[in-house]
Structure 1
Amino acid sequence: MNKKLKVLISGTGFAGQGHTDAFRAVGAEVVGIVGRTASIVNEVAKKMAIPYSGTDWQQALKDCKPDIVSIATPGGAHYETITQAIEFGCHVYSDKPLTNSGDSALELYELAQKKNVKTAFASSFRYMPCLLHAKQLVADGAIGEPVEAEFISHFNLERDIPFGWSHRKEDGGGRLNNNFTHMMSIATSVIGEDILSIIGEVRDDLGKAPIVEGVHNFKTRRDHIPKDLNDPSLKWGENNVEWSYTVMAQLESSLASKPVSVLFKHGGLNPRFNEDHIVFYGTKGAIYIKGHYGMGPLYVWDENKTWKELATPQDIVDAQPKVDGDTERNWQYLAREFVKDINGQSFAPYQTFKEGSLYQQLIDLIRKNNNWTDVRHLQ
């Protein structure tokens, strides 16, 4: 009989509550939750029937003695929390980004290896049904050799969302940390995990955001946008991260004789005209998926030179957790495989701190924004 694993949650917002539901759904016992503010963490613990709540992470590790810790706070708060958990001997399930810098992320990966604990990195939109279908189609040769892919998304986010962690590099904010991590995970899942080279450009389209008290849940931050943005008493915070990016990468694929070119284009504040999409191009066809994270439907360009919509295979549908919400379902999918691995059961491969640290190092490179060649001297 498998051991009922004990889980301690770090974070009380949307992610913390989502991780709680995910681990409970796969048979683990959530024994405690930790947050910054006593009144809020106590309220969440009561609402979700979690027996232990507190604001002291180190003490919670001692009191709860968890097998797994689940990190559901912004990336800037991860390093110390994860370090303490690994030193305590816990397996770690962390939301993205892993930390706010490549160096600190690499430290966590190396520490986890040294302490021989298992890790899971939740850039988990690779588990969307249409993306699992695309992976299957590419592996089966439906488009021939993969040669190119593109990821195009425009989120049209409100410019006046209250100032918070998403506006600060030191807190793990920025579109690379919170969008590109998923996009690269999707690309490598379908094409191949080995990233050969990368080049990119970032842009701050925002500048500043209003400072508003009382915003505790990332999902409801829009509800706190000030009604009067011209109020002279309103204070503003200075943004220091990117809200748009363009990245090109080359990925190695066992299915292709040459590196596969990938374009990632994201405008966090820009409106879309047509749908966001993901496309995989090959020597014999292409796969087009509507939606920025591959929500679907999925179409294949076939030998008849027409786009044909394909239904998701039943085995992929059946393997999906039965929960509403793409984010919540993907968290549970990853938690399921993670728990299976810890329990010594057969599991599907999943991303770990190896990928989490690599992605953070890539983000550091992209943010240098030093890939431009000055051509003004050319005749």
Structure 2
Amino acid sequence: MLRAVVIGAGFAGEGHTRALQHAGVEVVALCGRELPVVEARATALGVPHASTDWCATLERLRPEIIALATPAALRRDVIEAAVALDCHLYCDKPLATTTAEARALCSLVESTSLRHAFAATRRYDPSVVWLAELVAQGTIGAITKATYQVRAHLAPPLPWSWALSLEQGGGLLNGHFPHLLSILERVLAGPVCAATGKAAFAISQAPVLPGIHDFRDWGARADTLTPDELAQAEWRECDADTSYEAQLRFDTPTGEVSVALVSGPSVTAGQLRLVGERGTLIADGEAAFRIFLDGKELPIPSRLTAALPALDGGCQDRWAALAQDFVADIRGEPHAPYLTFHDGVRYQEAAEAIRRGHIWVH
């Protein structure tokens, strides 16, 4: 049986662990910063070893797979160790903190025969797969243009977290944008080939609060902050992007398609609108859609819903879908194509161009 060590004991660490276990991998250790937190999470997930020393754990256990569920600032050392130990890599997004680092890490793993997965996973949602099938079937003819509006944004007051620091790999363009690119690439059946845009930076400082261990704690504490806490807390500088707009081009089977993307507080309802030569498909939602053509809903076929692993009805199912393909590839079994570090580099290049207001052409 394949064995894995998961590095990162927060929300993504739990997700990666359950995904790999669902794919038939034995997760033999969970590593994190705070031993009581790691031990509790490992016990809950049925993982036999908990550690705060990932390096010693890898040397001792020598797994076949390493899952990276940490902030992006911690990627390089682990990926270099994985290559040295001949371990396959299952990595959350973003791939790195900068495009230059992402390219270097991708080049390192691609110089080996190791498998590497990049977890921009919303492309696995059954509604996304259905929308892609409708486009491929020519339901509205060739796509001529598209718009994509999502409400996701970061607004104060929020407790300080690595997600508010570009140096740590934070910001919506690092954490949120890869999901949207993965959706668009699947639906349009082609890669993003150009990007530009602009980002907003609405949070310059945030209070540092105790007891925040992962994304779920961060969101919950944001809803319960009191004026006294804000007055007494230490405040830390923030520089991550909190919303963005982008103009994208995709190289599709029927030619280039332009997509206008907005993610921010100005959006009142999420919607992806695909304009074709013979009609318009409207997908209401941000990542899980209800799809309409000429005012009539096109229900998601039950075969697509049944094909997605059923773990929690959300993020966990999509992590598991990626893990299935990744693990099958390692075993030499049939599998669907999945995103790799190469895609992580492309997405990072596009995100960095938007954040800086530059033009990127792949």
**How far apart, in 2, do the equivalents of 1:173 and 1:17 lie?**
19
In the superposition, the TM-score normalised over structure 2's length comes to 0.94
**How far apart, in 2, do the equivalents of 1:247 and 1:222 lie?**
26
In the alignment of these two chains, the number of paired residues is 357
Aligned residue among 134, 140, 148 for 2:131:
134
| Counterpart in the other structure of 1:182 | 179
Per-residue deviation at 1:297?
Answer: 1.3
**How far apart, in 2, do the equivalents of 1:73 and 1:90 lie?**
17
Percent identity of paired positions between Structure 1 and Structure 2: 31
Contact 2:144 2:276 in 1 (8 A): yes
**How far apart, in 2, do the equivalents of 1:144 and 1:271 lie?**
31
**How far apart, in 2, do the equivalents of 1:19 and 1:166 lie?**
19
Contact 2:153 2:263 in 1 (8 A): no
Matches within 5 A, 1:53-202: 53-155=50-152, 157-202=154-199
Aligned residue among 331, 336, 344 for 1:348:
336
In the superposition, relative to structure 1, how do residues 168 and 328 fare at CA in structure 2: closer, same or farther (>3 Å)? same
For residues 76-117 of structure 1, what are the alpha-carbon distances to aligned partners after superposition, in whole Å with 9 as ceiling and x for unaligned?
Answer: 222221221122111101111111111111111111111211
Q: What amino acid does structure 2 have at the position aligned with 1:297?
A: R
2:282 is aligned with 1:288: yes
2:23 is aligned with 1:50: no
Q: What amino acid does structure 2 have at the position aligned with 1:285?
A: G
Q: What is the CA RMSD across the aligned residues, in angstroms?
A: 1.6
Contact 1:173 1:241 in 2 (8 A): yes
For residues 328-369 of structure 1, what are the alpha-carbon distances to aligned partners after superposition, in whole Å with 9 as ceiling and x for unaligned?
Answer: 110000001111111111101110000001111222222222
**How far apart, in 2, do the equivalents of 1:189 and 1:264 lie?**
16
| Counterpart in the other structure of 1:241 | 240
In the superposition, the TM-score normalised over structure 1's length comes to 0.90
| Counterpart in the other structure of 1:374 | none
Per-residue deviation at 1:240?
Answer: 0.4
| Counterpart in the other structure of 1:278 | 272
- Higher mean C-alpha deviation, range 227-236 or range 320-329: 227-236
- Give 3-state SS (helix, strand or coil) of 1:173's partner: coil
For residues 275-334 of structure 1, what are the alpha-carbon distances to aligned partners after superposition, in whole Å with 9 as ceiling and x for unaligned?
Answer: 2111222111222112111x121112xxxxx22101111221221111223211100000
Q: What amino acid does structure 2 have at the position aligned with 1:130?
A: S
**How far apart, in 1, do the equivalents of 2:160 and 2:140 lie?**
45
Bigger Rg, structure 1 or 2:
1
- Give 3-state SS (helix, strand or coil) of 1:162's partner: coil
In the superposition, relative to structure 1, how do residues 272 and 202 fare at CA in structure 2: closer, same or farther (>3 Å)? closer
Contact 1:91 1:117 in 2 (8 A): yes
Gaps in structure 2 of 5+ consecutive residues: none
| Counterpart in the other structure of 2:302 | 314
**How far apart, in 1, do the equivalents of 2:18 and 2:231 lie?**
43
| Counterpart in the other structure of 1:324 | 312
- Give 3-state SS (helix, strand or coil) of 2:43's partner: helix
- Give 3-state SS (helix, strand or coil) of 1:342's partner: helix
| Counterpart in the other structure of 1:377 | none
| Counterpart in the other structure of 2:291 | 298
